[in-house]
Structure 1
Amino acid sequence: MSFSPTTTLSVTATALAAIALLVLNSRHGRKQLPPGPTPYPFIGNFPQMSIGWAGQPYAEMVKTWGPIIYFRVPGREFIFLNRLEDAVNLFEKRGNLYSNRPHMHMAHELVGRKITVLFSQYGERLKNYRRMINTVTNSRAAPQQWDTQTRETHKLLGRLLVSPDDFLHHLSRHAVSVTMRMVYGHIVPDGEETYIDLAEKMAKLTNIASQPGRWLVDSFRWMEHLPDWIPGAQFKRTAKQLHYELEEFTNRPMRMTKENMRNGRAEACFAVSQLEDKDASADELHEEYVKYAAAGMYSGGTDSAISFLSRVALYMTVFPEAQQKAQTELDRVIGAERLPAVEDMARLPYVDAVIKEIHRFSPIINLVPHSSPVDDEYKGYIIPAGSAVIANSWAFAHDESMYPESHKFDPDRYLGTRGEGVVDPRQFVFGLGRRRCPGVAVAESFTFLAVASLLSVFNFKKAVDAEGREITPAFDFDDALVSQPGPFKCEIVPRSEAAAALIQRAVQAAEV
């Protein structure tokens, strides 16, 4: 189906915009708002804001406006935080205030996502979600996932050995397989595309529903009362379709799990353990909480994992020096007789540094929006209630005071004397404060196993064209909520015949 945003303002909308801006100025009175571009009459800062979730445009504005930048559009206010210190001060030290999400009328109300893990306001519902998720992702419970992660990683190596040209699809299958087994107890067999396609669609539709600047109804909420048939109301038809498809994403794997429970085929997993919790099941909303918590883990876990794994292939192809250093360390510590295990993590500091630098070089999530329900004041600036206060992870990751020569892919920046005091980017790329991703411990073992195992047995090389010239992949990232690199080519070849044989043995053991 087609998703074409409305791009023109009606005469009525323009008039209301002017009134809204006048009211806004009156409300803030003499209190000083953060600096930012001068707004245009009636439409505010619409022309100066990007449509999408890219962080680089706002980081570049720091030279003109400073690290805290204010924008306003009719009915909405945005404050971008481009220094980690400011985000920590607000989202962590004032977490009691800054744990809400800013209201996005299209996503929250029309598409109906306001009760999901991603969009819920901070309150009992979100706390219930996080308590449930924490039962399988906290640091004590996370090791229970190591066996599944290891088996699925070995299957990934086997797929890459057989058909390396399909590496992007294999990486997606791997992320979905690990998450589906942990959340729903479902083993995704080779050839089954249902849940891979579903995860991809979920990410795309969530981004469409929530994209900043895309939907006029986010600024002019009265537009939701327009009849569906009039020109300019396409967004309402789009919202209904998005709601239907996103709910199907939420319901379909849960139906499968409940059916398996009725037939006695259910494997131990998050959804089953929660549904069988007799103490909690007395709550009439319990099953709904389980359903949305599971969907949040499924969507968040797969989309971000696919994004990270794609970056691994991209950066190891483009930066062979880092690949070779990691392989030297792996050969010395692990040897050629076995594959890495999670327990090896502490003995592989350079591999860990590579993982840190992948996270930093292009953060998977660039912009992280929070909101306060009341006016606040920070560094002499008023932070209006309900405004979108957005942490710019891209700006943090490319802050020269934190990461000198930030444009360079340089894992050594975290090691030895150079690494003393350097911020681990994982401190902010998973979010900050009370909305920080609850699955960090599970994500860390997943990413370590993937990076260490891939580099143990494979070389990533630039592909060549018909004339034998190397093709250097472009750093062409989209502006989605979870940023993905554009399709690219590379060659993935076993490091040796012994490495290929090791993969085959590992795949046979994983399938037992």
Structure 2
Amino acid sequence: MWESWLYAALIVVGLVILDRVFPFGGRGVPRFPGPKPYPIVGNVIPPKRIWVQLAALSRKHGPIFSLRIFRTPMLVINNVAVAREILDSKSGTYWSRPFPKMIELAGMVRGVLFEPDAGRLRQARKMLNLILHPRQLENFHSVVEHHVMKLLGNLLRTPEDFIQHLRSVPAGITLEVAYGYKVQGNHDPLKVALPRLTELQWRISRLPSRMGFKREALSWRDQYTELAERGYHRVQDEIKKGIATPSLVSKVIMGSEEYPEDLLMYTAAQVVTGGADTSVSSLMTLFLTMTMHQDIQRKAHAEIDRVIGRDRLPQYDDRANLPYTQAILAEMVRCFPSVAMVTRSPSKEDIHDGFHVAKNTFIIVNIWAMLHDETVFPEPEVFNPERWLSKDADSMPSPWDIAFGFGRRVCPGRHLGEEFLFMTVACTLATFDILPVRGADGEFIMPSGEYTDGASHRAAFRFPSNATLPRSKHAEELIAQALNMD
């Protein structure tokens, strides 16, 4: 027994000596400053709301600082200017996206999200630009409007199925964008399967945390592969029959430039699964913030009534005439980003600002910290749409530019996301009062405003079924008319 303890002790001592003699760094060039790591294990940071803890560390160690987990070097970027210097200006080096083994097991490296090959990533993004460029998105205005109208109708009829209704909007839109596929009712097999697919992707995209995760990843791989192949071959058949509608897959297949078939197949699948969870998070933020800030909601109602009137619903072309509604949306993105952090990795070693960055360094881009930087956004914890209408608004960076990422990994669906969110916010506020639940004493009970930990930053509250009320009988009629016109 004592021999086993002695052997273990010798290993620990050896690792400590190795750690002291060969600290991570490179070729005599210093590493970025940061909190002092413990021997062997490196830095230990509790996982709860880690983006907040990293933001706090940046106040002591600077806008970019180093960490180490065991022998893995890490950098944390908490500042917009630094992110642009590294991820935008040096995008040819800092384009890679590190992923755990579970991502590979789940098949998620196939497609644009985690593509490890620079050439294939470039091809995937070029394909997506064929359909997601702002000029091309004009073809999908009616698709977005249709699904937003369905959301309003569903909230009116069955508000108790709130989460299901929110999930159906991005799912329906992205299925049409990727495949030209129109969801056929609530029992459509693809619509039923998508919530599980997107939930699994969200969970698998984090580090595994329990036994059985490998089995779950392999299960997701089978479902993901089925979606990719089924959607792709369906469009192929429609093209042969001459009935294909505009979509990513049809546009690439019928285009003049050839792309790898598997890359198109899995990139299209990730159009559907990639942004679904973050979109639901953004929609939940709308209902949470309006529940908690009734005064802001009333100002939005007044603006929409003044500009649009009560005889029609807002359209995307109304955006420029609804500055307060746009300000609410910008503040939602800033105050409650749907993704708190993203990761990157350099494809080769680099010297930045006199400090060594080793190849494959694990880089954490702290989106939340950038959007809560008090030197850029005064009183960052306060939900204040008026900040985007003040004389200082032009001096602040756009929250959209930060929230959707940097460099070659910037979210390709940004413009679709902006259009979808604007239409949802404007049309929901045009037709509904979003109210807190009332307690037994008749007084409003405000939600806590807390958000979940995890890859997707969601509002952690149960939305009561009686919290959305049509603003008037005429609002109900407008929704019914819009649905009948589809």
User: Please, what TM-score do these two structures have when normalized by structure 2?
Assistant: 0.90
| CA deviation after TM superposition for structure 1 residue 252, in Å | 4.1
Residues 244-255 of structure 1 aligned to structure 2 (within 5 Å):
244-255=222-233
- Which amino acid in 2 is paired with 1:40? Y
The 3-state SS of whatever aligns with 2:97 is coil
- Which amino acid in 2 is paired with 1:423? P
| CA deviation after TM superposition for structure 1 residue 203, in Å | 3.2
Do residues 187 (structure 1) and 182 (structure 2) align? yes
| CA deviation after TM superposition for structure 1 residue 114, in Å | 2.5
The 3-state SS of whatever aligns with 1:28 is coil
Q: Distance in 2 between matches of 1:36 and 1:120?
A: 30
Q: Distance in 1 between matches of 2:386 and 2:322?
A: 13
- Which amino acid in 1 is paired with 2:87? F
Q: Distance in 2 between matches of 1:502 and 1:402?
A: 41
| CA deviation after TM superposition for structure 1 residue 122, in Å | 5.3
Shift of the 273–23 alpha-carbon distance from structure 1 to 2, 3 Å rule, reads: farther
**Which residue of 2 is the match for residue 229 of structure 1?**
none
**Which residue of 2 is the match for residue 65 of structure 1?**
61
- Which amino acid in 2 is paired with 1:176? A
Residues 217-228 of structure 1 aligned to structure 2 (within 5 Å):
none
| CA deviation after TM superposition for structure 1 residue 259, in Å | 5.0
Q: In the TM superposition, what whole-angstrom CA distance separates every residue of 1:24-43 from its partner, at most 9, and x where no partner exists?
A: 62652532222223222222
Native 8 Å contact 2:94 2:345 kept in 1? yes
The 3-state SS of whatever aligns with 1:55 is helix
**Which residue of 2 is the match for residue 423 of structure 1?**
397
Residues 46-57 of structure 1 aligned to structure 2 (within 5 Å):
47-48=44-45, 50=47, 54-57=50-53
- Which amino acid in 2 is paired with 1:203? T
**Which residue of 1 is the match for residue 245 of structure 2?**
267
| CA deviation after TM superposition for structure 1 residue 266, in Å | 3.8
Percent of aligned pairs with the same amino acid: 28
The 3-state SS of whatever aligns with 2:482 is helix
**Which residue of 2 is the match for residue 7 of structure 1?**
none
**Residue 305 of structure 2: which of 321, 328, 331 is its match?**
331
How many residue pairs get aligned? The number is 477
**Which residue of 2 is the match for residue 219 of structure 1?**
none
Native 8 Å contact 1:473 1:489 kept in 2? no
Q: Distance in 2 between matches of 1:145 and 1:465?
A: 43
Structure 1: gaps of 5 or more residues: 1-9, 216-231
Do residues 202 (structure 1) and 197 (structure 2) align? yes
The 3-state SS of whatever aligns with 1:25 is coil
**Residue 309 of structure 1: which of 283, 286, 299 is its match?**
283
Native 8 Å contact 1:129 1:290 kept in 2? yes
Shift of the 414–246 alpha-carbon distance from structure 1 to 2, 3 Å rule, reads: same
| CA deviation after TM superposition for structure 1 residue 204, in Å | 3.1
Q: Distance in 2 between matches of 1:20 and 1:483?
A: 39
- Which amino acid in 2 is paired with 1:463? V
Q: Distance in 1 between matches of 2:226 and 2:441?
A: 47
**Which residue of 1 is the match for residue 95 of structure 2?**
99
Q: Distance in 1 between matches of 2:9 and 2:99?
A: 25
Residues 83-122 of structure 1 aligned to structure 2 (within 5 Å):
83-108=79-104, 110-121=105-116
**Worse-matched range after superposition: 34-43 or 189-198:** 189-198
The 3-state SS of whatever aligns with 1:34 is coil
Shift of the 243–485 alpha-carbon distance from structure 1 to 2, 3 Å rule, reads: same
Native 8 Å contact 1:373 1:385 kept in 2? yes
**Residue 380 of structure 2: which of 393, 406, 409 is its match?**
406
**Which residue of 2 is the match for residue 396 of structure 1?**
370
Structure 2: gaps of 5 or more residues: 1-7
**Residue 432 of structure 1: which of 406, 427, 434 is its match?**
406
| CA deviation after TM superposition for structure 1 residue 466, in Å | 4.4
- Which amino acid in 2 is paired with 1:125? R
Native 8 Å contact 1:20 1:74 kept in 2? no
**Residue 124 of structure 2: which of 124, 129, 132 is its match?**
129
**Worse-matched range after superposition: 397-406 or 91-100:** 91-100
| CA deviation after TM superposition for structure 1 residue 196, in Å | 4.0
| CA deviation after TM superposition for structure 1 residue 467, in Å | 4.6
Shift of the 493–19 alpha-carbon distance from structure 1 to 2, 3 Å rule, reads: farther
Q: In the TM superposition, what whole-angstrom CA distance separates every residue of 1:83-132 from its partner, at most 9, and x where no partner exists?
A: 11111110111112111113533323x44433331111351111111111
- Which amino acid in 1 is paired with 2:203? I
**Which residue of 2 is the match for residue 224 of structure 1?**
none
Q: Distance in 2 between matches of 1:11 and 1:472?
A: 55
**Worse-matched range after superposition: 335-344 or 375-384:** 375-384
Shift of the 234–164 alpha-carbon distance from structure 1 to 2, 3 Å rule, reads: closer
**Which residue of 1 is the match for residue 4 of structure 2?**
none
**Which residue of 2 is the match for residue 36 of structure 1?**
34
| CA deviation after TM superposition for structure 1 residue 486, in Å | 2.5
Q: In the TM superposition, what whole-angstrom CA distance separates every residue of 1:351-396 from its partner, at most 9, and x where no partner exists?
A: 1111100001111111111111222222332222111222111001
**Which residue of 2 is the match for residue 221 of structure 1?**
none
Q: Distance in 2 between matches of 1:268 and 1:125?
A: 24
- Which amino acid in 2 is paired with 1:501? E
| CA deviation after TM superposition for structure 1 residue 464, in Å | 2.0
- Which amino acid in 2 is paired with 1:243? R
| CA deviation after TM superposition for structure 1 residue 460, in Å | 0.5
Q: Distance in 2 between matches of 1:14 and 1:233?
A: 27
CA RMSD between the two structures: 2.8
Do residues 507 (structure 1) and 483 (structure 2) align? yes
Q: Distance in 2 between matches of 1:269 and 1:76?
A: 42
- Which amino acid in 2 is paired with 1:64? K
**Which residue of 2 is the match for residue 459 of structure 1?**
433
Shift of the 334–428 alpha-carbon distance from structure 1 to 2, 3 Å rule, reads: same
Q: Distance in 1 between matches of 2:338 and 2:288?
A: 14
**Residue 460 of structure 2: which of 480, 483, 486 is its match?**
486
Q: Distance in 1 between matches of 2:454 and 2:111?
A: 18
- Which amino acid in 1 is paired with 2:482? A
**Which residue of 1 is the match for residue 166 of structure 2?**
171
**Which residue of 1 is the match for residue 419 of structure 2?**
445
The 3-state SS of whatever aligns with 2:134 is coil
